[in-house]
Structures are given as C-alpha cells and as structure tokens.
Amino acid sequence: MRLGVLGLGAISPYFLRAIEADPELELTGVCDLDPRKLAPFAERGTACFTDFTELLDAGKADAVVVTLPNDVHTPAVLAALARGVPVCCEKPLTVAAAEAEVMEATARTTGTTLFTAFHRRYNTNLRALTGHLPRDRRDIVRVTARYHENIAEHTGGEQWYLDPERCGGGCLIDNGPNALDAVRHLVGPLTLRDATLGDVRGGAEFYATLSLDADGIPVDVELDWALETGEVKDVVVELRDGRTLAADLLAGYDGFKSSLDHEYVGILAEFRQAVAAGPDWRDPGPGLVRLVEEAYRVGRAKEPRLRMAAKEPVSARVVKLLFHTRDDRGMRLSPWASRCVAAGEVHELVTTVDRPRDPGDEVNRVGFLGFAEFSAATVLQRGDEVYAGDRRLGTVSGFDECHAPNHYNILIATDRVLGAADIDLRVGDHIRFAEAPQ
Ligand SMILES: NC(=O)c1ccc[n+]([C@@H]2O[C@H](COP(=O)([O-])OP(=O)(O)OC[C@H]3O[C@@H](n4cnc5c(N)ncnc54)[C@H](O)[C@@H]3O)[C@@H](O)[C@H]2O)c1
C-alpha cells in the first residue's frame, strides 16, 4: 500500500517508523505547510506537498494518514474520502459530532475506509489485562482509567493545542478519546453518566473527570494536563472478590513516549485490514466524538473550577455578641444566592436549624451569634463554610434582608441553634468564611 502522510509534526515520526517497519507499506508522499519539515523527504525523493489536495490529486497514495492539528482533520479527511482514498486519522477524529456524521456518510457513499487511530488498544499491557479479566463481567465492580501528563511536554512547541477554537477544548478532547477507547476496548460500549471540567485556563480545561457506565460496570476516567512532569497512564479493574487488576500502559517502556512505537505499528496493521475489509469496516471514531461532545455539554453546564479556589477565605471580627434564640423569628430567605460585602462592613450572624430553599421561605428557629466586621471585601454565597476558630459551625444557607441596607442577617445552617455563649464566642474573635470544597 502506497501511503501519504499529511502533517509532519510531533506525532508523525511514530507513523513514519511504523510505515518503515511494515514491508507491505511504502511512504510515497508527504504534506506539511512548513517547507523545512518537507526538506529531508524531498532529499530522499519522496513527493512533497504543501497542499493536501495536491497530494491526493497526484495519485501517488493508495491511502493517507492524517496527523494534522485537530481543526484540520475534517477538511483533510473529507477531501480524501471524496476522492475514494482510505484515511487513517489521528484522534480526535473531529472536534464536532456533526462533522463526524458527514465523514461517516461520505465514507459510506464513496465506499471508502474511514479509520481512527486509537493507539492504546494495541498496548501490550492493556492487552495482557484484557486476557486476565474474569469471564463473568458481573465480577467486575469498577474500572478506573487515568491519563495524566504535562501538555507542554507533548505539543512539539505548537500552540494550537492550547487554543480551544483549534483543539476543540483541552485535555478532554485531547486525551479523552484514547483513554475512553482503552476502557471501551476492555469492557465494551460506554454510556456517559456525568462529566466535570476543571482548572480552566484560557478556555481549555486542564482537568476533567468522567463517570460512565459499561453495561452495568461503573467506569471513572480522570484526565489531567497539568502533571508537573512525566506521565501516568493506567487502567485499574476492581473485582468483586476484593482483588484489583491493573495495566500501567507505560510499564516496560522507559523512554519518553517509547510505548508508542509498538502501538503505532498496531494501528497501521489494523488499518491495512480495515482497508481490505472495505465497506464492512465500522470505525469506532465517530462514537467517541459523540461521547466527548456529550461530556462537554454536561461539563460546561456545571461550575468549572475543580482545583483552584474561586475566592480566598475571609475573616469577620466579632464586634458585638448576641445570646438569644427564637423559634418564631419570621425572617425571609432573600432571592440572592450571593452578596458582595465590602471591607469594613458589619453584618449579623444568625444560626438556624431551618433549611429555607426558595426565596421568601420563612426562617423561624434561630440563634444569634452577634455582629462582625469583615476584614476584606468578598462575595459570600450559599454553601460557604463557616468556622469559629477550628470549629466548623455550618454553611451559609442564605441571607435575610429585613435590616438592609444597614446590614444583612447572614443565615448559617447549623445542627442546633447557637448563640454566642454556646460556642464561647468573645468580642474580637474571628469568624471565617471559606469556599466549600468542590
Ligand atoms: N503529540 C502527541 O503526543 C499526539 C498523540 C496522539 C495523537 N496526536 C494527534 O495527532 C495530531 C497531530 O498532532 P501533533 O502533536 O503531531 O501536532 P503538530 O502541531 O506537532 O503537527 C501538525 C503538523 O501539521 C502541519 N499543518 C498544520 N496545518 C496544516 C495544513 N493545513 N496542511 C498541511 N500541514 C499542516 C503543521 O505544520 C505541523 O507540522 C493531532 O490531532 C493530535 O491530537 C498527537
């Protein structure tokens, strides 16, 4: 098979070496926008192009490998499929499910092979783990996959990875497909249950957790782009009898990315089979594009910060103590979930065992701690943790504004109503408000 390689960046050497290692394959054309990357190939007499349509039209390739930036996959793959040239495309196949559907339709109508390169399914350690799985899948309690790395060590200096417009997102779209494919290869098709994105920098998430289900088996996938250095890529299977089986995908491959060599040989061997199978080959790539898109939909609808606090804790110094409790106070929950507080403002601290939820809900069973002066500006919000010294009092459940604009009653959900004497509070003590752990 005469192969063309579109894109000569960081990952291309693994394909080029795999082509060289396979006597059934011959590199006949390469394409890159950067002429410096083409020069060594021109010296060897390989046909060189800066425009992938010209490579495709030159008739020098029976099939192509696409190792272009994510946002260029769709035009390149469609150009190849439209010409009846089989494509092996790096993951993620595309950055949008709608584009993957157009690819599938074009592959179908032209009878041309579309193949996504998921390299981890050929990893020797993952394959060994597959062989050790119990026959009865009910014996599997949970599967966990981790894909942790420092993205700067993988980009080959190119900036498009950190541009969500070009990459399609962050670690979820970058490492999600390979991690998910590895797990899917182990335990079968996955359904998304939940997704959380965190540590968002410039619109790209550096951390993501996915919770999935493989026909009754819970699956957790954790993706991290911000490891200080090195890589953690493993899959752990917990069994009903208490044992765990694990595959460290990098074990035995000590050099940086050295496991990739055998995995990319595996990709091209299967690609040849897929081309031979013709229209019978069903590419698993579009399914994972859909799964990743669904995970973004779920994750982006939620609070994104996972690892960084969104605000600093703030202290309020007690300036007047209160001691009384009431069970008929008739406060009303304000509609606001958060309130800005300026440095130097004084507000009243009220404990309550009532659990108001909706604006206007009554708050009757209350204890009064006193008034406190905030040392710094902050945004107080429902759910904030409240501490007196080391003692956790409870969480902010909202605000009552019956004394506004003089001051707010900050309602603190506690296990029992507390006045100042109940916690031995003194004038000058500090009450601390901290963001709840996420
Ligand atoms: N780097 C990795 O570890 C890794 C691993 C697995 C998969 N991948 C995937 O492989 C693909 C390529 O990644 P990479 O790290 O090699 O990227 P890269 O930026 O290092 O290489 C991309 C190459 O494509 C060229 N290029 C860009 N636009 C072009 C165009 N329109 N026409 C021709 N050439 C063009 C660039 O000049 C560059 O040489 C991505 O989809 C990525 O997700 C990368």
* pLDDT in the model for residue 280: 85
**Amino acid identity of 335?**
P
Q: Is 52 in the pocket of ligand 1 (CB under 6 A)?
A: yes
What's the CA-to-centroid distance between 5 and ligand 1, angstroms?
Answer: 11
Contact 190, 265 (CB under 8 A): no
Full-model pTM:
0.82
* pLDDT in the model for residue 438: 62
* pLDDT in the model for residue 303: 78
Q: In whole angstroms, what is the distance from residue 348 CA to residue 400 CA?
A: 10
Q: Is 85 in the pocket of ligand 1 (CB under 6 A)?
A: no
Number of residues written out for the chain: 438
| Nearest CA owner, ligand 1 atom 15 | 10
Q: Is 245 in the pocket of ligand 1 (CB under 6 A)?
A: no
Q: Is 321 in the pocket of ligand 1 (CB under 6 A)?
A: no
* pLDDT in the model for residue 158: 78
Nearest to 2 by CA among 261, 280, 272: 272
Tokens of 121: 């399914």
Q: Is 13 in the pocket of ligand 1 (CB under 6 A)?
A: no
Q: In whole angstroms, what is the distance from residue 5 CA to residue 31 CA?
A: 6
Q: List the domains of the chain with CATH numbers.
A: 2-119 (3.40.50.720), 120-256+284-300 (3.30.360.10), 314-434 (no CATH)
Pocket test for ligand 1, best of 11, 55, 148, 180 (most atoms within 8 A of CB): 11
* pLDDT in the model for residue 9: 96
List the chain residues with pLDDT less than 50. none
Q: Is 7 in the pocket of ligand 1 (CB under 6 A)?
A: yes
| Nearest CA owner, ligand 1 atom 17 | 9
Q: Of ligand 1's atoms, which has the minimum distance to the CA of residue 117?
A: 7
* pLDDT in the model for residue 156: 75
Q: Is 37 in the pocket of ligand 1 (CB under 6 A)?
A: yes
What's the CA-to-centroid distance between 115 and ligand 1, angstroms?
Answer: 17
Q: Which residue has the tokens 């990319």?
A: 264
What's the CA-to-centroid distance between 8 and ligand 1, angstroms?
Answer: 7
* pLDDT in the model for residue 279: 78
Q: Is 69 in the pocket of ligand 1 (CB under 6 A)?
A: yes
**What are the pLDDT digits (tens) for 115-144?**
999 999 999 999 999 999 999 999 999 999
Q: Is 94 in the pocket of ligand 1 (CB under 6 A)?
A: no
Contact 67, 6 (CB under 8 A): yes
